[in-house]
Structure 1
Amino acid sequence: MTRVKICCIGSVEEARLAVRLGASALGLVSEMPSGPGVIDEPLITEITASVPPPIGTFLLTSRTAVAQIVAQQQRCGVNTVQICDRLPPGSHAQLRRSLPGVSLVQVIHVTDQTSVSEARQVAPEVDALLLDSGNQSLPVKELGGTGRTHDWSLSARIAEVSPVPVFLAGGLNAENVGEAIATVRPFGVDICTGVRSDGKLDERKLRQFMEAVKDAAA
């Protein structure tokens, strides 16, 4: 079955609900230039400590300096760092040395053919890629949580050639996730706004989404 990552987790209660309904991973959003779901690091630490070990705890970071990313992970205790912006050359290797046993996931903001080239270049340096909608070139960067889909044919090309697992994000919901899975064939899907109502995790929407993912696998 396609793995499911529920992002923008905002409380211990939301984390428990997501895990109970079958999430394989949880996204915990630290300081970002834009987008939903940002919580402070003490709360990220509290939520992480409440999550059973088989579940991935993804720290979404907008930091690009290795020392800052390392310090953030050590404060929060997550088992995975999701890097939402581009890093300077050599940074992933430095993170590997500094954070043994911690998984690295690089976000690729899928915009055009250059995104495919970017994904191919960085994939050997990380444990997984996460393909999302966004724009790092705007005056206020969009690093995720846009609620928009992107060109899934580009994501499918990335998934086909990637040597590491690929998560698909960006505008997913119960109505379109089946088509998204059929088109891209990702290792996992990642959702935030599509399972929320008034900013809160909506159990009904989450159940519908999980059922749609199961149907797609069948």
Structure 2
Amino acid sequence: VREIIEQHKRCGTNTIQIVDRLVKGTHEELKTKLPGINIVQVIHVNDESSIEEAVQVSKSVDYILLDSGNQKLKVKELGGTGRTHDWTISRKIVEAVDVPVFLAGGINPDNIKEAVEFVHPFGIDLCSGVRTNGKLDETKLKQLFNKLKS
């Protein structure tokens, strides 16, 4: 908790995104020590157990972000993989929790419309799906937003 609070003070953020699992009670401690700061917890959607994880953590956070990744690997994948995950599980999470849910993980111009229509997220987190050679690609961004409008 101390490191998160110190980083927050250096950056002056109004929202903190946690990409790894925290020890039980840590979210509550952060909320107490950082009043008015929003907490976003990333849930790495690997299987049906992600639903219960999201339900439990939703009681202590302001938002959930569903992403691809794998915390169980020797070197943890905590996002930025460019891979999609099982949106059926993501949809179940959206339906099961009472906090807004963002969807991430391999979202690009080709699948954005399906992702939004199927999962019904509060918002979308974009990264690799709108980049070319590691840089934001204006053409891909325009394509993505045009698909959303159609």
TM-score normalized by the length of structure 2? 0.97
Instruction: After superposition, give the CA deviation of every residue in 1:20-54 in whole Å (9 maximum; x if it has no partner).
Output: xxxxxxxxxxxxxxxxxxxxxxxxxxxxxxxxxxx
Counterpart mapping for 1:46-57 below 5 A: none
Q: 1:80 aligns with which of 5, 12, 15?
A: 15
**How far is 1:163 from its partner?**
0.3
Q: What residue is the counterpart of 2:123 in the other structure? A: 188
Counterpart mapping for 1:1-218 below 5 A: 66-215=1-150
- AA aligned to 2:112 is V
Structure 1 stretches of at least 4 aligned residues deviating more than 3 Å after TM superposition? none
- Tell me the distance in 2 between the aligned counterparts of 1:78 and 1:212: 32
Instruction: After superposition, give the CA deviation of every residue in 1:115-145 in whole Å (9 maximum; x if it has no partner).
Output: 0000000001000100000000111100000
- AA aligned to 1:140 is V
The sequence identity of aligned pairs, in percent, is 58
C-alpha RMSD over aligned residues: 0.9
Unaligned runs of 5+ in 2: none
- Tell me the distance in 1 between the aligned counterparts of 2:132 and 2:116: 24
Give 3-state SS (helix, strand or coil) of 2:125's partner. strand
Instruction: After superposition, give the CA deviation of every residue in 1:59-101 in whole Å (9 maximum; x if it has no partner).
Output: xxxxxxx111111111111211110000001100110011111
**How far is 1:213 from its partner?**
2.5
- Tell me the distance in 1 between the aligned counterparts of 2:143 and 2:11: 31
- Tell me the distance in 2 between the aligned counterparts of 1:211 and 1:108: 28
- Tell me the distance in 2 between the aligned counterparts of 1:191 and 1:165: 17
TM-score normalized by the length of structure 1? 0.67
- AA aligned to 2:95 is E
